[in-house]
């Protein structure tokens, strides 16, 4: 367009030169001046457009560099008075694109944040390994499971060799339920006083068999092969379903026994009155024996009803150390802890019931010659987002067969036991998203570990 305009100006100048000279010199001069002015104005206009175009290009270049660096907060100034319509449209379109990219990035960030929270809040052990067998992602459950602060960059094969060799034989399984013999983080008792913050703890390697669901998924990320390994704990879910089954059985048994006990008790009372009127001592003894056995049976039913009636925990903040110190006045035991106060969210009455059951069992398991304050030790530690309460006695421990059946309702090795205490303890720990384990301590006695989440 500019070339055409220059050609036209030259044609007009040549035409005026040929027509006006030499007859009309003044008119030729005037025409020449006008043509020169038009050329100057055109040059000034072109220079202005060129500067605006250069400024627009530099502005766009700076905005594109910000986008290249991942900064989508850039917004280009669009002054309508100083720019042409096409330049304003380009800048407006750039700002619309950056706004859309910014919204997409914010939405993607929110989804990633939500996914990260969901994955880290899950109790499923999640590990993502690249084609070099290097861990590029591991959630908090995995870090707690392998007892590692950070697993990023570690070799998956080396980690399994060191921490979980039991999983290596299952490397060819993509979907299976497996049994793992895992070592729990159990602690011995510090040889210190009640506020034993400086006591040294002795770690004891105790392994328990647990059920896990193993699943592996092979996928491609950025063109390379990756493997996603998921380990879902099944032991607690199996315990919960087993406990619900026992509750149904207990309700049915309680219903049938109560329906039978009520008329028998009434008839026994009437028979006792008749025997007294007839003055039959032998018959009175028979009815008294029957009444005594009915009362024992009623107490038996009442104890098992506690398991069926155990409600969901009503959580609120309370000082766990203070609760233990109050129990220490009733059940003499040695208490060790890391801090003088430990505020924890849970059902205080249920946790207190759990501790009372464990303390009673511990004191009953110890020989008579051991002093009550030496018969049991309780330690409280917090590590990796978990609260661990350890109750240990100094008795003879349990056989392997008894350990496997200890949590079953109705099962008890005591002559006067109802077999319901440990079942209640396990349901209380499960209700607080925790777990409870029984193990024979290497130095003698039984050790009970209650693992509870701190948050």
Any idea which residue has 């042409």 for tokens?
Answer: 84
Q: Alpha-carbon distance 291 to 242, whole Å?
A: 34
Q: What is the pLDDT of residue 243?
A: 67
Looking at the chain, the whole-number percentage of residues with pLDDT higher than 90 is 11
Looking at the structure, do residues 403 and 330 belong to the same domain, yes or no? yes
Looking at the structure, do residues 174 and 224 belong to the same domain, yes or no? yes
CATH assignment of the domain containing 130: 3.30.450.20
Q: Alpha-carbon distance 413 to 71, whole Å?
A: 69
Looking at the structure, do residues 143 and 16 belong to the same domain, yes or no? no
Looking at the structure, do residues 304 and 320 belong to the same domain, yes or no? no
- Residue 197 belongs to some domain of the structure: no
Q: What is the pLDDT of residue 411?
A: 64
Q: What is the pLDDT of residue 145?
A: 87
Q: What is the pLDDT of residue 71?
A: 79
Looking at the structure, do residues 228 and 212 belong to the same domain, yes or no? yes
CATH assignment of the domain containing 386: 3.30.565.10
Q: What is the pLDDT of residue 391?
A: 92
Looking at the structure, do residues 47 and 7 belong to the same domain, yes or no? yes
Q: Alpha-carbon distance 285 to 276, whole Å?
A: 10
- Residue 106 belongs to some domain of the structure: no
Q: What is the pLDDT of residue 190?
A: 32
- Residue 57 belongs to some domain of the structure: yes
Q: What is the pLDDT of residue 136?
A: 92
Q: What is the pLDDT of residue 437?
A: 86
Q: What is the pLDDT of residue 379?
A: 92
- As for how many domains the chain has, the answer is 4
Looking at the structure, do residues 294 and 372 belong to the same domain, yes or no? no
Looking at the structure, do residues 57 and 169 belong to the same domain, yes or no? no
- Residue 190 belongs to some domain of the structure: no
Q: Looking at 271, 290, 309, which one is the last position of a domain?
A: 309
Q: What is the pLDDT of residue 195?
A: 36
- Residue 111 belongs to some domain of the structure: no
Q: Looking at 50, 65, 100, which one is the last position of a domain?
A: 100
Domain that holds residue 66: 2-74+81-100
- Residue 289 belongs to some domain of the structure: yes
Q: What is the pLDDT of residue 389?
A: 92
Looking at the structure, do residues 254 and 226 belong to the same domain, yes or no? no
Looking at the structure, do residues 322 and 222 belong to the same domain, yes or no? no
Residues of the chain under the 50 pLDDT cut: 185-205
- Residue 107 belongs to some domain of the structure: no
- Residue 264 belongs to some domain of the structure: yes
Looking at the structure, do residues 300 and 173 belong to the same domain, yes or no? no
Looking at the structure, do residues 296 and 254 belong to the same domain, yes or no? yes
């Amino acid at each position: 367009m500019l070339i055409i305009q220059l050609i036209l100006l030259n044609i007009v100048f040549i035409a005026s030169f040929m027509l006006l000279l030499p007859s009309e010199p003044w008119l030729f001069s005037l025409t020449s001046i006008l043509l020169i002015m038009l050329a100057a104005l055109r040059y000034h206009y072109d220079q202005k457009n060129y500067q605006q175009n250069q400024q627009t290009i530099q502005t766009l270049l700076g905005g594109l560099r910000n986008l290249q660096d991942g900064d989508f907060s850039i917004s280009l100034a669009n002054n309508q008075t100083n720019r042409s319509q096409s330049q304003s449209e380009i800048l407006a379109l750039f700002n619309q694109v950056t706004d859309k990219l910014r919204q997409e990035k914010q939405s993607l960030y929110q989804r990633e944040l939500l996914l990260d929270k969901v994955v880290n809040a899950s109790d499923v052990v999640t590990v993502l390994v690249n084609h070099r067998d290097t861990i590029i992602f591991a959630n908090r459950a995995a870090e707690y499971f392998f007892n590692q602060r950070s697993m990023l960059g570690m070799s998956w094969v080396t980690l399994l060799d060191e921490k979980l060799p039991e999983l290596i034989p299952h490397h060819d399984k993509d979907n299976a339920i497996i049994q793992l013999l895992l070592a729990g983080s159990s602690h011995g008792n510090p040889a210190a006083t009640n506020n034993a913050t400086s006591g040294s703890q002795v770690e004891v390697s105790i392994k328990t068999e647990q059920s896990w669901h193993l699943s592996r998924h092979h996928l491609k990320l950025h063109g390379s092969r990756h493997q996603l390994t998921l380990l879902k704990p099944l032991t607690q879910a199996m315990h919960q379903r087993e406990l619900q089954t026992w509750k149904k059985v207990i309700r049915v048994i309680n219903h049938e026994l109560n329906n039978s006990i009520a008329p028998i008790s009434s008839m026994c009372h009437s028979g006792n009155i008749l025997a007294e009127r007839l003055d039959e001592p032998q018959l009175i003894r028979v009815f008294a024996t029957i009444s005594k056995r009915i009362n024992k049976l009623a107490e038996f039913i009442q104890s098992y009803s506690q398991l069926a009636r155990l409600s969901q925990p009503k959580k609120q903040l309370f000082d766990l150390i203070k609760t233990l110190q109050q129990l220490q006045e009733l059940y003499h035991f040695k208490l060790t802890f890391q801090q003088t106060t430990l505020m924890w969210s849970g059902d205080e009455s249920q946790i207190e019931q759990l501790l009372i059951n464990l303390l009673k069992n511990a004191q009953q398991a110890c020989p008579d010659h051991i002093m009550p304050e030496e018969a049991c030790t309780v330690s409280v530690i917090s590590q990796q987002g978990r609260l661990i309460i350890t109750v240990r006695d100094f008795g003879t421990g349990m056989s392997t067969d008894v350990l496997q059946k200890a949590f079953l309702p109705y099962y008890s090795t005591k002559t006067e036991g109802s077999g319901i205490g440990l079942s209640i303890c396990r349901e209380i720990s499960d209700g607080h998203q925790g777990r409870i384990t029984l193990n024979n301590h290497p130095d003698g006695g039984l050790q009970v570990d209650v693992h509870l989440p701190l948050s």
